[in-house]
């Protein structure tokens, strides 16, 4: 079987369609295929076929599945601080192995790669160094474009299309170390449903996916958050009110505390947090970190996680760890 441009995309010919997409230099043909794929965005088999092709044709490194990624879809447009990256570093300070996967800013002022660079944390590419990093420091940062060069083949056409496409949902599913655990923020129910369909098809994947009713792609302390939990074979959906976190807050709620800026500003705010500053940035970081910790350690109760994370921030454990992983 082969694919000719304009043919209907089906489950039978999808692998030929994907191969054509990544090998043709004809941008018009690529746009036609992406348009066809967008119509099938709710088909989990199509989504998984695209994801698996990209993963198979990546720059391979040794896998470290007993790790957690905090990479989300991004795109909430609220220009907040780098909360998922802050969560990742905080978790690693208490011994959770983090394979943080990300990219430079798309819709925000500072993406994961931007703040990692500003903090002078190494962006590792060598497989041995990556494994050494996560084994010894419990944290490694993985810059997506290096590991998935195939995605650059559709970069130009995606810019020309100018709207969200099926590729917006691929990044968070492609952890280079094969992290088995993931906490993943999205902007709305539709995005959460799509991510849930893809991740649930990946063998042994355990995840917490969420979207907040205030538009944040984080677990919000300002509004209710809708969750998709997969810790066993089934997915549990649940809405949790922000009021449930009231007793864990260290300061008066202030949305301005989580507003971000350029990478230098966001990096300085992260350092302040790790030096003990208490505001809504700290509170939202801890709440998100608790859910992440429970994803990889489901037997840990909420209060126990809070105590561990609070202790790391209050006693300079997180701050000293941050300085350590810069080396």
Let me know whether 144 and 216 are in one domain.
Answer: yes
Residue 159 is assigned to a structural domain of this protein: yes
| Spatial CA neighbour of 168 closest among 207, 208, 198, 213 | 198
Let me know whether 182 and 41 are in one domain.
Answer: no
Q: What is the pLDDT of residues 27-69, one digit of tens each?
A: 999 999 999 999 999 998 999 999 999 999 988 899 999 999 9
Residue 277 is assigned to a structural domain of this protein: yes
In which domain, by residue range, is 45 found? Answer: 14-56
Let me know whether 72 and 50 are in one domain.
Answer: no
pLDDT for position 171: 84
| Spatial CA neighbour of 144 closest among 188, 187, 111 | 111
Structure confidence at residue 106 as a pLDDT band (50, 70, 90) = low
What is the four-CA torsion angle of 231, 235, 241, 243, rounded to 10 degrees? -10
Q: What is the pLDDT of residues 249-280, one digit of tens each?
A: 999 999 999 999 999 999 999 999 999 999 99
Let me know whether 155 and 287 are in one domain.
Answer: yes
Out of 56, 77, 107, a domain closes at 56
CATH assignment at residue 241: 3.40.1030.10
Residues 142 and 67 sit within 8 Å (Cβ to Cβ): no
Q: Specify which residues 141 forms β-bridges with.
A: 100, 123
Residue 196 is assigned to a structural domain of this protein: yes
| Spatial CA neighbour of 70 closest among 44, 49, 96, 105 | 96
Residue 238 token pair: 């649940």
Let me know whether 135 and 208 are in one domain.
Answer: yes
Q: Which residue has the higher pLDDT, 200 or 110?
A: 200
Q: What is the mean pLDDT of residues 195-209?
A: 94
Strand, helix or coil for residue 155: helix
Residue 3 is assigned to a structural domain of this protein: no
Let me know whether 96 and 52 are in one domain.
Answer: no
Residues 225 and 284 sit within 8 Å (Cβ to Cβ): no
Residue 319 is assigned to a structural domain of this protein: yes
Q: Does residue 2 have a pLDDT over 90?
A: no
Average pLDDT, the chain: 92
Let me know whether 122 and 260 are in one domain.
Answer: yes
Q: Does residue 108 have a pLDDT over 70?
A: no
Let me know whether 182 and 282 are in one domain.
Answer: yes
Q: What is the pLDDT of residues 279-298, one digit of tens each?
A: 999 999 999 999 999 999 99
Distance, in Å, from the CA atom of 68 to the CA atom of 91, rounded to the nearest integer, reads 9
Q: Which residue has the higher pLDDT, 104 or 137?
A: 137
pLDDT for position 206: 97
Q: Does residue 107 have a pLDDT over 70?
A: no
| Spatial CA neighbour of 267 closest among 115, 68, 113 | 115
Q: What is the pLDDT of residues 4-15, one digit of tens each?
A: 898 999 999 999
Number of domains within the chain: 2
What is the four-CA torsion angle of 303, 304, 306, 309, rounded to 10 degrees? 180
DSSP of 255-313: GGGGB--SHHHHHHHHHHHHTT--SHHHHHHHHHHHHHHHHH-TTS-HHHHHHHHHHHH
* The dihedral sign for the CA sequence 139, 141, 144, 149: negative
Q: Which residue has the higher pLDDT, 144 or 127?
A: 127
pLDDT for position 109: 63
Residue 112 is assigned to a structural domain of this protein: yes
Let me know whether 216 and 151 are in one domain.
Answer: yes
Residues 212 and 224 sit within 8 Å (Cβ to Cβ): yes
Q: Does residue 83 have a pLDDT over 60?
A: yes
Entry pTM? 0.92
Q: Does residue 307 have a pLDDT over 90?
A: yes
Let me know whether 26 and 147 are in one domain.
Answer: no
Residue 158 is assigned to a structural domain of this protein: yes
Let me know whether 88 and 188 are in one domain.
Answer: yes
Q: What is the pLDDT of residues 222-245, one digit of tens each?
A: 999 999 999 888 999 999 999 999
Residue 4 is assigned to a structural domain of this protein: no
pLDDT for position 324: 96
Let me know whether 112 and 221 are in one domain.
Answer: yes
């Amino acid at each position: 079987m082969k694919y000719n441009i304009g043919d209907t995309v089906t489950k039978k010919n999808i692998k030929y369609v994907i191969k054509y997409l990544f090998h043709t230099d004809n941008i018009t043909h690529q746009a036609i295929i992406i348009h066809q794929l967008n119509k099938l965005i709710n088909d989990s088999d199509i989504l998984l076929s695209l994801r698996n092709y990209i993963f198979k044709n990546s720059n391979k490194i040794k896998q470290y599945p007993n790790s957690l990624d905090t990479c989300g879809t991004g795109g909430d447009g609220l220009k907040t601080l780098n909360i998922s990256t802050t969560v990742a570093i905080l978790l690693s300070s208490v011994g959770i192995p983090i394979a943080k996967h990300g990219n430079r800013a798309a819709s925000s002022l500072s993406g994961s790669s931007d703040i990692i660079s500003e903090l002078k944390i190494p962006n590792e590419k060598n497989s041995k160094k990556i494994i050494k990093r996560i084994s010894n420091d419990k944290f490694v940062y993985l810059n997506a474009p290096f590991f998935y060069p195939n995605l650059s083949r559709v970069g130009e056409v995606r810019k020309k299309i100018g709207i969200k496409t099926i590729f917006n949902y691929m990044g968070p599913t492609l952890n280079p170390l094969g992290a088995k655990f993931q906490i993943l923020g999205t902007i709305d129910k539709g995005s959460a449903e799509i991510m849930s369909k893809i991740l649930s098809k990946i063998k042994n994947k355990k995840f917490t996916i969420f979207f907040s009713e205030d538009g944040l792609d984080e677990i919000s302390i300002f509004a209710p958050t809708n969750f998709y939990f997969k810790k066993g074979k089934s997915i549990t959906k649940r809405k949790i009110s922000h009021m449930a976190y009231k007793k864990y807050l260290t300061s008066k709620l202030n949305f301005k505390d989580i507003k971000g800026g350029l990478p230098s500003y966001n990096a300085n705010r992260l350092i302040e947090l790790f030096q003990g500053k208490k505001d809504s940035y700290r509170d939202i970081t801890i709440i998100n970190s608790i859910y992440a910790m429970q994803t990889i350690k489901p037997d840990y109760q909420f209060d126990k996680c809070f105590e561990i994370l609070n202790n790391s921030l209050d006693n300079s454990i997180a701050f000293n760890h941050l300085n350590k992983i810069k080396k």
